[in-house]
Amino acid sequence: MKSEFSSRIFNLLIRGISTLSKFALVMSMAKFLTLEEVGTYGLLAATISLSVILIGGEFYTYSQRELLSVDLKKWPSILKNQGIASAVLYFIFLPAQLIIFYQEFITFNLLAIFYVILILEHIAQELSRILIAMHKQLFASVVMFLRIGAWCWIVIGLFYIDISYRTLDTVLYLWVFGATVAIITSIIYIHNLVPTIFEAKADWKWIKKGYRVALRFFLSTVTIKIIMTFDRFIVETIAGREFLGVYAVYAGMAMVVNSVLVPTVFSFLYPRLVENFRKEQFKLYKKNFQQLLFLTLLIGGSVAFIVGALAPFAFNWVEKPIYVEQINYLWWLLLFSFLYCLSMVPHYVLYAKGKDGCILISNLFGAFVFFIGAILCYLKDDIDVLFWTLSSSMFVLVVVKSLFGAGWVSIPLSNRGNFNVK
């Protein structure tokens, strides 16, 4: 118990440093780059986040659950099959990303760096998920620091050293560097733990089944990520690229809530939920569920409040009045981020139970609310409607997932009297 507590504290420390690094980068960009450059960065980052899902097809949701359900000796086969499945998806979906540039969502001069970062980010995230499935959360956090934290300080240092480095290119090139280092580190570590990956045989039957299972998760995740991407396009259309810069900074700050909860709560508890349910350990399942809910409310709510309270002091350092003048929008985005994190509690319940269809239906409800609000936003030409819409869509998501996830619906008949998720 003491060892687990120490692990969580160390994990929190690493994640805290990573989050602080990203926060420091966002604030430095707000200070040293133009609003238009910050807006372009926000649009590019959000689009890459969505595109990572498109090229990955969420196949990891199938393979990760398989990893948590079998002995270690079967891992090499699963990991190799996952790699093959991802390679096939690359050939299909990487060319499809060109539509982003032909439709002028992003300018063509960013095409090359977009593709490089996209591929590196997908590989790095997949490797990080494998480490979490291996219960190597601490090392996963170290790798995450390399991917999203360490290079930020190099960027900030360059911003201060020479004015010529105060460009968006500096940020993007160092992003590539950080992701590359994270990938190399992860591959070496995983290969030492599972050295026979390349010797395993491909199982196309397993891969085809994985595509069918992952499809639901793919559709589920895309519906949510569309919300977190299209909001940028709505802001740019209605309020302009400069306000998009402000919005990008606020959104980056708001997602700190998720950045803290993932390593300290989610990455520790959701694998346990899956294992407990699969092994019919329902008392442990209930205990871990209650802990997941309590810590999400406590830590998520606390982080959201702290970020909102400290934001004015950070923006005074930036010395650009617009960030302080519009700060009420930051509170809206913090609410959105908190509700999104809260929705992950019933999400993991449904994931553990294998109720993938319920996850998809829930996300479609949330997306439907968002698109209705987006239409109203365009019709009224009022950016305030967008913030109401974002929070409403996440609230609906929490409610619908909770309704699907509650009760003993999917517990075997012989165990229904032993467990009840409240």
Q: How high is the pLDDT of residue 385? A: 93
Write down the mean pLDDT value for the chain. Answer: 86
- Cβ atoms of residues 272 and 322 within 8 Å: no
Number of domains present in the structure of the chain:
1
Give the pLDDT confidence of 153-180 residue by residue, as tens digits: 999 999 999 999 999 999 999 999 999 9
Q: What is the mean pLDDT of residues 3-7?
A: 64
| 392: in domain | yes
Give the pLDDT confidence of 245-262 residue by residue, as tens digits: 999 899 988 988 988 888
| 52: in domain | yes
The domain containing residue 272 runs over which residues?
2-415
For residues 114 and 41, what is the distance between their CA atoms, to the nearest angstrom?
Answer: 11
Angle of helix 168-193 relative to helix 150-161, nearest 10 degrees, comes to: 150
| 409: in domain | yes
| 143: in domain | yes
Q: What percent of the chain has pLDDT over 70?
A: 94
| 422: in domain | no
For residues 349 and 220, what is the distance between their CA atoms, to the nearest angstrom?
Answer: 15
Q: Is the pLDDT of residue 131 over 50?
A: yes
Give the pLDDT confidence of 73-91 residue by residue, as tens digits: 788 888 888 989 999 999 9
Short-list 87, 91, 100, CA closest to 46: 100
For residues 146 and 297, what is the distance between their CA atoms, to the nearest angstrom?
Answer: 28
What are the C-alpha distances in Å from 282 to residues 210, 376, 416, 417, 419? Answer: 27, 45, 10, 10, 6
Give the pLDDT confidence of 187-244 residue by residue, as tens digits: 999 888 887 777 778 889 989 998 988 887 788 888 888 888 889 889 988 988 889 9
Label residue 332 by pLDDT band (50, 70, 90).
very high
| 82: in domain | yes
| 420: in domain | no
**Residue 196, SS3?**
coil
| 421: in domain | no
pTM higher than 0.85: no
